[in-house]
Amino acid sequence: QSALTQPASVSGSPGQSITISCTGTSSDIGSSDLVSWYQQNPGKAPKVMIYEGSKRPSGVSDRFSGSKSGNTASLTISGLQAEDEADYYCCSFASSTTFVAFGGGTKLTVL
């Protein structure tokens, strides 16, 4: 059982926006600015899409954005494209014995 809770799946049509939530506790997301999001395509290594809650690495489309409120972080993808179909994982540094927590992953389907 993952430490952070994500929906198992989300879907949207091309051009639409979707949001993936990631719920933790006051020991991880609630007390950390170090929330990151990863995109993983089948058979490939994960790729960071958002770090420090809302920052985008160079080369990542500005259609990807991150936010946090309380113990919940969110990843929003606007203007959905077929190439966005992948698995997405949230992650948070945890100031406890857990140290690092991942979400269980969300499969994004572009209809």
Q: Which residues bind other proteins (CB under 8 A)?
A: 2, 34, 36, 38, 40, 45-48, 51-52, 57, 89, 91, 93, 97, 99-105
Nearer to other proteins, 63 or 107 (CB): 107
Nearer to other proteins, 47 or 63 (CB): 47
Is the Cβ–Cβ distance between 20 and 5 less than 8 Å?
no
Q: How far apart are CA 23 and CA 104, in angstroms?
A: 11
Q: How far is the CB of 62 from other proteins (least distance, A)?
A: 18
Q: How far is the CB of 29 from other proteins (least distance, A)?
A: 14
Burial label for 30, CB within 10 Å (0-12, 13-18, 19+), is middle
Nearer to other proteins, 36 or 65 (CB): 36
Is the Cβ–Cβ distance between 72 and 85 less than 8 Å?
no
